[in-house]
Chain A
């Protein structure tokens, strides 16, 4: 089930949560992980840097974004879609 993108995502999220990547479960929510709005913004920045993508994320209204932040799995899926859609 695990792959390179997933592992990188878990590492990014783990850093914000001050956890070991192995402690970041795929169905954990940001609340579960203790990541606040600022932590989320930093994570989005790290994701863009890592994967060279633009994350459609609006910090003013995160729930209104096209980037699904429901849990770790949804974010990984969203990032994979962004990577697949990248112009080659």
Chain B
């Protein structure tokens, strides 16, 4: 039985420009959400988000690279560089065809699309930059990671809205487990914080104007974020043989579909996904110490998710910790599960559970220990991470301390 471990992690998001900075912010319960800064933001009714700040693309990439990299790809490449650096992996000729990339993403190069729609519609021009297509395609980030490191194995992008990253990392896990690769770079990226992106979300009326407060009775919607996280998933013996530092083991993964509604979540679909992940991981309910919740801060998701956790875990639901780090970095949509995996690894490795910040009022419909406002010390040996997307597409991963 092939086992899969994580040997590198990298991230960039509203909480910081690296995985370490992100985890440090999670430990402190720091708020990454703030006023959005981009063109025409004054025409939006939603003006807050978890924006990556102080980021200068030209400090990392050449002018030619920037002409080909939407911010979505830039974020993914920075996270991948950090993860590869930490893993110490060298891609030999033998390893190259046994190593691939699976990324989650929902909006593609939305900033590129937005800019160029302005060019043709607003400015009435008839010509756009020649690289609009290679910049905007959803799979661009995966391709550029593959090209940067010479990874020649299975490489693609998964798009399942808010569950994209979890589906992607689940595919990477199974690709290695089934013997189709020894190393996979996986995670997700998103860059929807642009006028057209937020305007589209406004229409749905699920966004908060003031804060993301998961599980709090006065919660009033989700807040968008942006960024990326990338991990090096590696076959256990392969990692051992080269003396790599192992951050955690990926032990289980399951997917389910609600088959019911394009926006409303279903408790039943979430229950089946969590059950499936536990079965796949072959762990007992009582071993699970932490769940990184989907926890969007909408009335419907948080209520439904808590009910699902109670149904799956029964009495043990009162012994485990569950938190939503979206309260700090916002909802990265296709990249969110990847950034949230950092919180699971931190809980397993350091015994620190990231808090749900912005929690102001107890909600009887969310009567679990949601780690309100301050991080908690806890001995966690198994963690789950949930993603329940629009359209009822659910994906749950299980990780174990190693």
Contacts from A to B (Cβ < 8 Å):
15, 18, 38-39, 41-42, 44-45, 48-49, 59
Contact = CB atoms under 8 A, between A and B. Distances in A.
Contacts of A59: 130
A39 B67 CA distance: 10
CB-CB nearest 5 A-B residue pairs: A41-B130, A45-B130, A48-B127, A42-B130, A45-B129
Interface string B29-67: 000000000000000000000000000000000011001
B127 A42 contact: no
Interface string B57-91: 00000011001100000000000000000000000
B127 A44 contact: no
Interface of B: 63-64, 67-68, 127, 129-131
Nearest to B68: A38
A4 B131 CA distance: 28
Contacts of A38: 64, 68, 130-131
Most buried by A among B64, B67, B129, B130: B130
A51 B19 CA distance: 46
A18 B67 CA distance: 14
Most buried by B among A38, A39, A44, A48: A38
Contacts of B67: 42
A39 B64 contact: yes
Contacts of B68: 38
A44 B130 CA distance: 9
A40 B131 CA distance: 12
A24 B63 CA distance: 19
Contacts of A44: 130
A52 B67 CA distance: 21
A28 B127 CA distance: 28
Contacts of B64: 18, 38-39
Nearest to B129: A45
A26 to B, nearest CB: 24
A38 B134 CA distance: 11
B67 to A, nearest CB: 6
Nearest to A49: B127
Contacts of A41: 130-131
Nearest to B67: A42
21 contacts: A15-B63, A18-B63, A18-B64, A38-B64, A38-B68, A38-B130, A38-B131, A39-B64, A41-B130, A41-B131, A42-B67, A42-B129, A42-B130, A42-B131, A44-B130, A45-B127, A45-B129, A45-B130, A48-B127, A49-B127, A59-B130
A61 B365 CA distance: 64
Given A15-B63, A45-B127, 16 more contacts: A18-B63, A18-B64, A38-B64, A38-B68, A38-B130, A38-B131, A39-B64, A41-B130, A41-B131, A42-B67, A42-B129, A42-B130, A44-B130, A45-B129, A48-B127, A59-B130
A12 to B, nearest CB: 13
Contacts of A42: 67, 129-131
A18 B66 CA distance: 14
A59 B67 CA distance: 17
Nearest to B64: A39
Nearest to B127: A48
Contacts of A18: 63-64
Nearest to B125: A49
Contacts of A45: 127, 129-130
Contacts of B127: 45, 48-49
Nearest to A54: B127
A42 B64 CA distance: 10
A39 B64 CA distance: 8
Contacts of B129: 42, 45
A19 B67 CA distance: 17
Most buried by B among A15, A42, A44, A59: A42
A39 B62 CA distance: 13
Contacts of B63: 15, 18
A39 B68 CA distance: 11
A24 to B, nearest CB: 17
